[in-house]
Amino acid sequence: MNIAVAGTGYVGLVTGVCLAEKSDHTITCVDVDEKKVQTLNKGLSPIYEDGLEDLLKDNLKKGSLKFTSDYKEAYSKADLVFIAVGTPERSDGSANLDYLKSAIRDVVSCASKDMLIVIKSTVPIGTNDIMEKYALANKKDSIRIELASNPEFLAQGTAVRDTFEASRIVMGVNSDWARQTLEKVYENFDNEKIVTDRNSAEMIKYASNDFLALKISYMNDIANLCEIVGANIEDVALGMSFDDRIGKKFLRAGLGYGGSCFPKDTKALHWLSNSNGYELKTIKAAIEVNELQKMKLVRKASEMIDSFYGLKVAVLGLTFKPGTDDMREAPAIVNINYLLERGANVYAYDPIGIDRARKIFSDKINYTNNIDKAIEGADMCFIMTEWKEIVDYDLDKYVDLMSRPLVFDGRNCYDLKEVKKRPIEYYSIGR
């Protein structure tokens, strides 16, 4: 089959590259940004994702993958089009579907044969039904067009592996033809395949993401209580993890969740439930806990000093998690803004995220390429991301290099016993 992918953002690019590698189909990725297209056709990835660029280069050489801004040609030849455009959050928490509608309009206007349009984007329940009516109203009479839901379950930093080793491939279809077409796409993927209706597929995506967000917020809530009653959240999490009804994942306490999915998807599902006259109290609580958790340590610091004005403050880790350069909804953003508003001189370190940070903060903060420079002469240090470089950092250097070895660890990077061996004022989460 000829497969087109509309959008070369995080989901679209990973989907296109991995399909080219694993399937026997020809993959054409479409983007309106000609400069971005040129960069991709040179084998250069605009996002950091382990293993992605190598696969990109290999499949460009094989001819199984190409990138273009000529959507008319790409869509006219396509048997199937994946839609992987953004569905950003509106001010009221609802999902903005304007980009999705625009993409479907372009696809339908160019379709020259029977086509299955597959929505990869995370969309509110019922979106496939709405968009199919729109597509059918604008298609050529002689061709068949259907929509299907095929949500992604990729974690940034492990997206390539998550695609090839997916726990499940969800196919939301309303006909045998759509099911058979999608099954052909994934015929070389040896993964569990779940076939359901489109509304259920859309809900699976939201329900999965929001459950994980709820799990994170729950553990952070328990961590805060642990501090009050004198328990250790890491021991608590370990004890919980042996219960196979709970599992080991997403039990780490920290500064809350960020990224492109959990913040947006929790708010969107909460909005959707309210708009249908039902409040998801659990999701509302998850959102509230997460927002409070982000600022937990900077509030602690503000209680310990008279003012941040003129202080050198080190921030270690900028991205919302290790293994990615994504800073969307990263706790570092709100914390750095808090510090800047109060006159602090911020020195930031991140092994990958500096370029992204520059687009947010410009020259308002100082950027360093190593931890030593960030903490040298610093009055305090905040750890925002558990990069290996930070986890493995020599604790003695905090004592030797900092003006005052005051460390606020938002990711519980260090063993408490090791920290206590040194004259470090150390505050972590739930311990």
Region 295-427: CATH code = 3.40.50.720
Annotated active-site residue 226? The verdict is no
Q: Residue 129's pLDDT is what?
A: 97
Q: How confident is the model at residue 260 (pLDDT cuts 50, 70, 90)?
A: confident
Give residue-wise pLDDT tens across range 110-165: 999 999 999 999 999 999 999 999 999 989 888 999 999 999 999 988 999 999 99
Highest CATH level, class, for 205-293: mainly alpha
Looking at residue 3, its pLDDT comes to 98
* All structural domains of the chain with their residue ranges: 2-196, 205-293, 295-427
Low-confidence winner among 132-141, 174-183, 414-423 (lowest mean pLDDT): 132-141
Q: Which of the residues 18, 226, 261, 381 is marked catalytic?
A: 261
Q: Cα separation of 52 and 39, whole Å? A: 14
Q: Which CATH superfamily is domain 2-196 in?
A: NAD(P)-binding Rossmann-like Domain (3.40.50.720)
pLDDT tens digits along 54-106: 999 999 999 999 999 999 999 999 999 999 999 999 999 899 999 999 999 99
Q: What is the pTM of this model?
A: 0.91
pLDDT of residue 275: 94
Predicted local distance difference test score (pLDDT) of residue 81: 98
Nearest-angstrom CA–CA distance, 218 and 250: 10
Fold equal for 2-196 and 205-293: no
pLDDT tens track for 342-392: 999 999 999 999 999 999 999 999 999 999 999 999 999 999 999 999 999
